Amino acid sequence: MNRGPALVFWFVVPAVLAAFGLCLALAAVFQYSVRAFVPGSLDVGGLTLANFTALLRPLYARVFLETVWLSVKTAVFTLLLGYPLAYALVRARRPTLKSVILVIAITPLFLGEVVRTYSWIIVLGNNGFLNTVLLRLGLVDRPVQWMFTDLGVVVALVHVTLPVMVLMLAAGLSHIDRACERAAESLGAGPARVFLTVTLPLSAPGIAAGVATAFAWTFSAFATPQMIGGGRVNTISTMVYQLGFSSLNFPFAASLSVAGLVLTGLLLALIRRLSRPLERVGGH
């Protein structure tokens, strides 16, 4: 008996139901975004586009730009840290070493984002581990302000996105034909030149996928910017929280969410378009 169609059915149905629920949630957010805010009430008014018009104010435009810049920095630093780990994971010869690198790389996935963020509060606080070490070594005279800064938020976000970046880079590196590298070596290329002219271009698909995922993940991150930034590092997600739960302005918070979703889609499409030449190089 062929059970293929039955198995496909039971795999497809949950995905369809999840997609349907997601579409309903997005529709609810969108309908809130075009409704008027009634001060002092949880009820909403009639249809209006004033919420989207208000997004053109300099305050909200600056929040969008700061969120994009924060996401770019996180994606770049995650790539710089994740590539050596992924390369060592794929090219290590000893199974034990591979296992150690894999455990180090994916361990953050075993903890929730809030738990990971609290750990960075302990490390980056004025009385935290990092400042304690710097003070005892005499490298600083007073605690360095890591908390409530862009740098602190980026450090914590890199820790959150690093496991996914490593896994995607490792997938890209594992598909490289080692014969191409050996051919370059036989023609007289040194290790550095082989890496720059062969390995790095051929791993471009993994780089593009990892950067796009890290960017999207950071763009929508809430817990880390809220807890590490402490309200001083504004992002779209923290602004939505402040408008929705502090001001109870759910229509404007919904419009900000819709605008953020659209902007994320446009930026990911741009990243995809810019990475196509690299992917063609990697595909060859």
Q: Supply the CATH number for residue 133's domain.
A: 1.10.3720.10
The tokens describing 220, both together, are 């929508």
In a domain? residue 216: yes
The residue segments making up the domain with residue 231 are 54-283
Task: Give the total number of structural domains in the chain.
Answer: 1
* E strand or H helix at 47: strand 44-47
40 domain-assigned: no
- Model confidence over 166-177: pLDDT tens digits? 989 998 888 888
Asked whether the predicted pLDDT for residue 6 surpasses 80, the reply is no
Integer Cα distance of 206 and 166 in angstroms = 9
Which value, to the nearest 10 degrees, does the dihedral of the CA atoms of residues 70, 73, 75, 76 take?
170
Question: What global pTM score does this model have?
Answer: 0.82
What are the C-alpha distances in Å from 91 to residues 26, 139, 284?
43, 37, 21
* Residue 151 belongs to a domain: yes
Q: Which two tokens stand for residue 248?
A: 């109870």
Question: Is position 29 within any domain?
Answer: no
201 touches 184 (CB < 8 A): no
Residue 62 lies in a domain: yes
Provide the pLDDT for residue 125.
Answer: 86
Q: Decide if 30 is inside a domain.
A: no
Cα(155)–Cα(114) distance, integer angstroms: 15
Residue 74 is predicted with a pLDDT of: 94
Is the pLDDT at 62 greater than 80? The verdict is: yes
Highest mean pLDDT among 52-66, 69-83, 104-118: 69-83
Is 267 contained in some domain? Answer: yes
